[in-house]
Amino acid sequence: MSMIWTPRAMGDIVILPASLSKTQTDSVSTFDTTVGFRITTLGKLYTAGANDGGSPVYTSPATNAVIPEANAGNYEVRMTSVTFGGSTPPADWTAKPGVDGSWFVLSANRTWTINSALAGADVANVSATFEIGKAGTSTALDSMTLDLQIDNA
């Protein structure tokens, strides 16, 4: 994975990997599997998955998006170019912040998930462009491709 370090105002560094993906396999075939992506108030990026109705536990950060971490609240995030494996977005996805292209400040952890029980058989994956920008500017400073997939084995 190659990363480009991009210096920003106030000495901040905004950095995103080119892409981030997570596949969660539902080995029990209960069709209640969740896969998700989170960026925290410290600018840490996570992916996680859970089976059997459990909640994903976001424990291992993939990377820091903002350095220093204390300045992450000066940035906002959104999702654009969202596509789904099925014909319509799952209900649990459309309720998440930023999926309509709106910007959301990192004053709270931002989490996006899909769940196989809510998504139905025809929606098992989401692909999107994740963007981060300076709060209040509505301009992306960096972006990455995000792929979340549920494998109902």
Is the per-residue pLDDT at 62 higher than 50? Answer: yes
Domain boundaries, the chain: 6-151
CATH fold, domain 6-151, is Immunoglobulin-like (2.60.40)
Which pLDDT belongs to residue 99?
A: 65
**What is the pLDDT confidence band of residue 153, given thresholds at 50, 70 and 90?**
low
pTM score, whole prediction: 0.78
Q: Is 139 helix (H, G, I), strand (E, B) or coil?
A: coil
Residue 134, classified by CB atoms within 10 Å of its CB into exposed (0-12), middle (13-18) or buried (19+), is: middle
- pLDDT reading at 72 higher than 70: yes
The one-letter amino acid code at 30 reads T
Q: Does the CA dihedral 85-150-32-126 come out positive or negative?
A: negative
pLDDT of residue 131: 92
Closest CA to 132 of 143, 121, 123, 122: 143
pLDDT digits 0-9 by tens, 125-145? 788 889 999 999 999 999 999
Q: What is the mean pLDDT of residues 20-43?
A: 79
pLDDT number for residue 1? 45
